[in-house]
Amino acid sequence: MMQIAVKNRDDITVLHLNGRFDFSSHRDFKNAHDVVLQTEGLREVVVDLTEVEYMDSSALGMLLLLREKANLSNIDVSLRSCDGFVQQILEVANFQNIFNISPMIGPVGPNKKQH
C-alpha cells in the first residue's frame, strides 16, 4: 500500500509517495493530484519517489496522466527519485526525456533536468 503526503511551498507542491506505487494506488494518486492541480497559483508539482520501494507500468501511466492534466493548466511536473530500482524503471521507460528528474533534496524547477 502506498501513502501520499502533500506539502506546499509557495507555488510548488510536493507529493511524497511512500510504499508500492502500482495499480492498487490508482484511486489515491488520482484523488491527491486532482486536488493539488486545483491549487491557485500553482507552478509546479514535484512527485517525490525517494521512498517508493516498487513501481510498475501502471505507475508510469499514472505519472504520464498527471503530466497531461498539469500541462493543460500550464503546470510543470518534475520527479525526484533515488538510485536503484525506481531509477532504473524511469530510465528504461525514457522518462528522463519526458520529465525533469532530480535526485536532489529540495524542489526541482523547470529546466533543471538532471540525468
H runs (alpha helix) in the chain:
26-36, 57-72, 85-92
| Mean pLDDT, range 73-87, rounded to an integer | 90
**How far apart (Å, rounded) are the C-alpha atoms in residues 20 and 105?**
21
- Predicted TM-score (pTM) of the model is 0.87
> Does 38 or 1 have the greater pLDDT score?
38
For residue 107, the model assigns a pLDDT of 45
Domains assigned to the chain: 3-102 (3.30.750.24)
**How far apart (Å, rounded) are the C-alpha atoms in residues 58 and 7?**
24
| Mean pLDDT, range 73-95, rounded to an integer | 91
**How far apart (Å, rounded) are the C-alpha atoms in residues 108 and 21?**
21
Average pLDDT of the chain is 89
Nearest to 5 by CA among 38, 26, 27, 28: 28
pLDDT tens digits, one per residue of 18-33: 999 999 999 999 999 9
